[in-house]
């Protein structure tokens, strides 16, 4: 079931930046990739619990500030060790300047289900 909630204004997150946002009680890493793509993933690294929204964003991949694991911001897939398990990723849309995340279903659930 789709459940989009507003988490930021479009201008709040610059191109190439990632930040921590709250989406209906879920802590997410929201990023605005250099190519204009938006993505949102769970804000906790599966390797050691680092805060992904405090990491660096490079080519739509978030690097955990603790040990350098990388996750794709759109799919949640691991792109670099030491993490081996993906994080949940959530659909993002922009409506009238509001960045909205669908917290009702994770992207990986859509791919599996």
Cα separation, 51 vs 29, in Å, equals 8
Give residue-wise pLDDT tens across range 20-36: 999 999 999 999 999 99
**CA dist 73 to 23, 35, 36, 86, 96, Å?**
16, 13, 12, 11, 22
Tokens representing 55 are 């990491």
pLDDT computed for residue 112 by the predictor? 44
pLDDT band for position 108 (cuts 50, 70, 90): low
The structural domains of the chain, ordered by start, are: 4-112 (2.102.10.10)
What is the average pLDDT across 78-86? 95
Whether residue 111 is predicted with pLDDT greater than 60 in this model: the reply is no
pLDDT computed for residue 105 by the predictor? 75
Whether residue 69 is predicted with pLDDT greater than 80 in this model: the reply is yes
């Amino acid at each position: 079931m789709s459940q989009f909630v507003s988490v930021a204004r479009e201008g709040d997150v610059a191109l190439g930046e990632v930040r921590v946002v709250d989406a209906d009680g879920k802590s997410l890493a929201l990023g605005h990739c250099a190519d204009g793509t938006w993505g949102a993933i769970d804000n906790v690294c599966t390797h050691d619990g680092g805060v992904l929204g405090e990491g660096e964003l490079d080519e739509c991949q978030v690097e955990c500030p603790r040990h350098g694991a990388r996750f794709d911001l759109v799919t949640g897939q691991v792109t670099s060790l030491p993490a081996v398990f993906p994080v949940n990723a959530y659909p993002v849309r922009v409506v009238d300047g509001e960045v909205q995340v669908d917290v009702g279903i994770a992207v990986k659930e859509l791919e599996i289900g």
